Structure 1
Amino acid sequence: MPKVRIKNSNSRSGVLKGPVFFFVLCCLFFNAATASAFEARVRYVIDGDTFVLADNRHVRIAGIDTPEIGRDGKPDQYYARQAKAMLNKLILGKRVRIEPAGKGKDRYKRIIGWVYVDNLFVNKRMIRKGAAFYYFHKGNDRGKQKLLLQAQRNAYKEKKGFWPVVSKLKKFNKPWVGNKKSRRCFLTGDRYAEKIGRLNRVKFSSLGEAFYEGYSPARHLNFWPIVK
């Protein structure tokens, strides 16, 4: 990239000020973000939110969570196979564009990313079809997270995918307690719910209300139905 000399006639010190400084910062940020994005072909889909690229790198789709496929003899969670089938249809064998999200990788060294096939935003489509639910992360892009949350509200309202079955669960319709900081929620009376500070505590009449506000259930609760 050729060097660009910026002349600032309004400052004797040569320090960039006001709109010019803001514009330069935006350009640098945009260049860094686009430079980290890449394209690759999908070789294998593991489940509804994880897949493997042709070069064997593993990718975890950012901002979503899907029902778990059973491992080591354990049963599948409800709608796990359907979620995998949907992701297969969207990306398997195709060239995808991946924009790393947050810190770029998780503790398992998987790439965490916003995934696109042409102009299709895969993260959003999985939620919109009711094959995944929104999973907040404070390090992720706010604008994209708003898109995912709205997609979830629409899917829930229209009873897409797993929502008709999940919304009838007994635990789903009990009171829940959310943590404003983490955006995770817990059944009232859960040991972790009791540890939430007063300022971070928010009460929901049901899990549906919590989902609508962008909270997701803590993983240890295992409220999701099992396929027998």
Structure 2
Amino acid sequence: MYRSVAALASIVTVSSVLGGCTLVSTEGTARTVEVEWVIDGDTFVTTEDERIRVLGIDTPEIGRDGAQDEPCAREAKEATSGFLEGGEATIVTDSAAGDTDQYGRTLAYVGTDGRDLGRKLLEDGLADVYPAEPGINRFSKYAMAAAQAPAPACE
């Protein structure tokens, strides 16, 4: 997708180092939300007007204000919409990342039926690991999923 070989190599290196350490889980309590609509591959809005940003990943941006979509942006959004089509999702925060980002979005792992949205997008090559959050609980698992992902057909 839009990841560079050097960036991916550094993520895998960091995950290998972290993989040898015993980490205390930083995951918080899970809660269920109702999905109203999907903004893009890594962000959606709940029926309570809460914006949720999928923790630990980064998907291509949908073009705004006349800008073009980044490669695979529509495919990532469609994959997230399909994943969340049941209308409910379980979100889990991670104290290593904080509760919200600079835009006021709730940062959380997102799942349905025991499946992890972030991991799924990574495995499908539609997301990159978000490198600014190496201390989160799922970082090394996400880095391994990204490293093993095929190149997406939409590139």
1:107-145 superposed Cα distances (whole Å, 9 cap, x missing partner):
11110001110110111001100111111214422xx11
With a CA cutoff of 8 Å and minimum separation of 6, indicate the structure with the bigger relative contact order.
2
Q: Distance in 1 between matches of 2:85 and 2:35?
A: 5
Counterpart of 2:115 in structure 1 is 120
1:107 aligns with 2:102: yes
Count of matched residue positions in the alignment of Structure 1 and Structure 2 = 129
Q: Which of 25, 30, 34 pairs up with 1:41?
A: 34
Conserved 8 A contact 1:43-1:93: no
Structure 2 CA distance for partners of 1:99 and 1:145, relative to 1, 3 Å = same
After the TM superposition, which residues 144-223 of structure 1 pair with which residues of structure 2 at under 5 Å, given as runs?
144-155=138-149, 158-162=150-154, 165=155
Larger Rg: 1
Higher share of residues assigned helix: 1
Counterparts of 1:64-83 in structure 2, within 5 Å, are 64-83=57-76
Q: What's the % identity of the aligned pairs?
A: 32
Contact 1:103–1:139 (CA<8 Å) still a contact in 2?
no
Quote the Cα distance in structure 1 between the aligned partners of 2:72 and 2:109.
22
d(CA) in 1 for partners of 2:152, 2:114: 22
TM-score, length-scaled by structure 2: 0.76
Structure 1 regions of 5+ residues with no counterpart? 1-25, 166-228
CA displacement at 1:49 relative to structure 2: 0.5
Runs of 4+ in structure 1 off by over 4 angstroms are none
| AA of the residue aligned to 1:117 | T
In the alignment, the residues of structure 2 paired with residue 161 and residue 92 of structure 1 have an alpha-carbon distance, to the nearest angstrom, of 23
Name the amino acid aligned to 1:81. R
Question: SS state of the match for residue 104, structure 1?
Answer: coil
What TM-score does the superposition give when structure 1 sets the normalisation length?
0.53
